[in-house]
A and B are shown apart, each in its own frame.
Chain A
């Protein structure tokens, strides 16, 4: 059972478009992490958010942690084909629980 629900499950957009993907849970997490995974590889950590309401920026990626620390969003500005991949959120308490991911395809 996935404690973290990610939406949308699939997203296909054109290069240059903006997008937002979501990660929601009924549980409160002490922290939440976003990963990006490419085929045949393990997930790579993008960011960790800890404080409710926290916003972190990583170049064209903006991550937000909900005030109640139950949800998070990832916004990508001017998406590029290199952004293609599986975006996973994971909540950390005593162990790491992952969502099912959003599979993003950015077409040139």
Chain B
């Protein structure tokens, strides 16, 4: 089985532009989470989706939005890009969502490296 796939692998944008990042989860996984990893830091939680509904949101501005499709793939959209949005954007999939009962195992994709000039 294929792992989590993300596209594109690299992307260069300029300030003020919009970007869409895509993620395909492992077959059978219904939950997708998005993370932003700035150089030298650990991943920061952005969104979690389960069964096409938003189940969690991190401390990110409204310029960040996401959605999950019926086939459980997901898109992350970022509007009005800032230089500080330059980062590795990671997608992780799991069968169940992360919950207080303990997280289901998350599998990460290779990420999309976004550079904002």
Residues of A within 8 A of B (CB): 2, 4, 6, 30-31, 33, 35, 40-45, 48, 50, 88, 90, 92-101
B58 and A95 contacting across the interface, CB-CB below 8 Å: yes
Interface residues on B, range: 20 to 34
Q: Find out whether the CB atom of A43 lies under 8 angstroms from the CB atom of B100.
A: no
Provide 16 A-B residue pairs closer than 8 Å at the C-beta atoms, listed in order of the A residue: A40-B111, A43-B43, A45-B105, A90-B43, A92-B98, A94-B100, A95-B45, A95-B48, A96-B33, A98-B35, A98-B42, A98-B43, A98-B44, A99-B42, A100-B41, A101-B42
A31: chain B residues within 8 A (beta carbon):
102-103
Expressed in whole angstroms, the minimum distance between the Cβ of B30 and any Cβ of chain A is 16
Interface, chain B (partner A; CB < 8 A): 4, 33, 35, 40-45, 48, 56, 58, 90, 92, 98-103, 105-111, 113
Name A96's contact: one of B40, B98, B100 (CB within 8 Å): B98
Taking CB atoms, residues of chain B closer than 8 Å to A33 are 103
Question: CA of A99 to CA of B4 in the docked complex: distance in angstroms?
Answer: 22
Contacts of B100 in A (CB 8 A): 30, 93-94
Contact A42–B110 (Cβ < 8 Å): yes
Report Cα–Cα, A35/B103, bound state, in Å: 14
Are A45 and B44 closer than 8 Å at their CB atoms? no
Given the known interface contacts A42-B110, A94-B56, the answer about A88 and B43 at a Cβ–Cβ threshold of 8 Å is yes
Find the B residue at minimum CB distance from A30: B102
